[in-house]
Amino acid sequence: MNQTNSITHFTRNSFTSRKEWYERVAKWLFQGMAFALVVPLLLIIGYLIYKASPSLNWSFIVDVPVKGMREGGIWPAFIGTLYLVVISLAISTPVGVLAAIYLNEYAKDNWFNRLINMAVINLAGVPSIVHALFGLGAFVYAARFGYSIISASLTLAIMTLPVIIASTREALASVPMNFREACWNVGATRWQTIRAVVLPNSISGILTGVILQVSRAAGETAPVMFTGAVFYKAIQKGDLLPYQLTDQCMALSMHLYTVATQVPGVKESIPFATAVVLLGSVLLVNASAIALRVYLRNRKKW
């Protein structure tokens, strides 16, 4: 009798059938939402590549604009964007990581540090045009750097700093406290613990914040337009070091806006090809950083 009741208890009934039906509906619903996000993105990328195909080749990247930017390539804008992204991240990444280390590992829970945390969160949501005006006043006029690469890079660094701080803090907080306590119990100092244990185990999360800012720094127009980007800059084809820090430079985001709206008679494929190069550059950098992050994450022992 007991055996019969046990078998009956695990027999499929209307309740379990209904729960399984709900689970299938939820599964298909979430899959539909995923496709609704991915398919339009793939269609947009495909459309851009199709429209850019007449001009999209290696010569387009390494050539300089000619005939009033109606023909030729985008090398000055491409290398200018590379300058801006690399310099801005070289400034914001160490400052952001060190600030996050202080806030997460050293700062006490008092009103002053809570005010700093609130300021970091609020700065992450400030529109880019506000950062552009701040960079114009602080770096171009007050610091007297003028309209230059260094002014534009510092503006981008200020803009990307809050997200790097926030993501780094989350990565540091994800490291179990037991790791820290074990180091302290064997006599390690707080800094030794951070350097040898906390940072190596949080590096993948730190890279996540940096990855997010690569695309933002490369795609912003207003901050560089107000502080250091120029409509046109004559440089030599293929020159890898064409700019000084005190020079103005071209940028892909501003160049795309310029050829699409300000240059009459430009070939239709050139703005689309510029957009594809900008998108492809960001995706390449992100893919490389993601591969490094996955490699470092797989080395974790917990």
Q: Amino acid letter at 268? A: E
Are 96 and 90 a contacting pair, CB within 8 Å? no
The answer to whether residue 7 scores a pLDDT higher than 80 is: no
Where does the pLDDT of residue 157 fall: very low under 50, low under 70, confident under 90, or very high at 90 and above?
very high
For the CA atoms of 200, 204, 206, 212, the dihedral, rounded to the nearest 10 degrees, stands at 160
Q: What is the mean pLDDT of residues 219-243?
A: 88
**Short-list 221, 214, 219, CA closest to 287:** 214
pLDDT tens profile 235-255: 888 788 899 999 999 999 999
Give me the residue spans of the domains in the chain: 13-52, 58-298
Q: What is the mean pLDDT of residues 56-69?
A: 89
**pLDDT for position 78:** 93
Are 231 and 167 a contacting pair, CB within 8 Å? no
The answer to whether residue 38 scores a pLDDT higher than 50 is: yes
Are 149 and 243 a contacting pair, CB within 8 Å? yes
Range 134-156 burial, b when 16+ CB lie within 10 A, else e: bbbebbbeeeebebbbbbbbbbb
Where does the pLDDT of residue 50 fall: very low under 50, low under 70, confident under 90, or very high at 90 and above?
very high
**Strand, helix or coil for residue 72:** strand
What residue spans of the chain are helical by DSSP H? 2-9, 14-52, 58-62, 75-101, 111-123, 128-135, 149-173, 177-185, 190-193, 199-219, 222-227, 252-261, 269-298
**Short-list 144, 143, 151, CA closest to 83:** 151
d(CA 260, CA 196): 50
**pLDDT for position 28:** 94
CATH code given to domain 58-298: 1.10.3720.10
pLDDT tens profile 125-156: 888 999 999 999 999 999 999 999 999 999 99
Q: What is the mean pLDDT of residues 7-31?
A: 80
**Strand, helix or coil for residue 233:** coil
Are 233 and 248 a contacting pair, CB within 8 Å? yes
**Strand, helix or coil for residue 249:** strand
pLDDT tens profile 65-104: 988 888 889 999 999 999 999 999 999 999 999 999 999 9
Average pLDDT, the chain: 87
**pLDDT for position 1:** 47
pLDDT tens profile 247-279: 999 999 999 999 988 888 888 899 999 999 999
Which residues pair with residue 249 across a beta bridge?
229
d(CA 55, CA 300): 45
**Short-list 272, 282, 275, CA closest to 252:** 275
Q: Which has the higher per-residue pLDDT, 12 or 43?
A: 43
**pLDDT for position 234:** 85
Number of neighbouring beta carbons within 10 Å of residue 173: 14
Percent of the chain clearing pLDDT 70 (strictly above): 95
d(CA 75, CA 235): 9
The answer to whether residue 205 scores a pLDDT higher than 80 is: yes
**pLDDT for position 301:** 60
For the CA atoms of 186, 190, 196, 201, the dihedral, rounded to the nearest 10 degrees, stands at 110
pTM score, two decimals?
0.85
Residues in the chain: 302
**pLDDT for position 285:** 82
Are 223 and 132 a contacting pair, CB within 8 Å? yes
d(CA 273, CA 268): 9
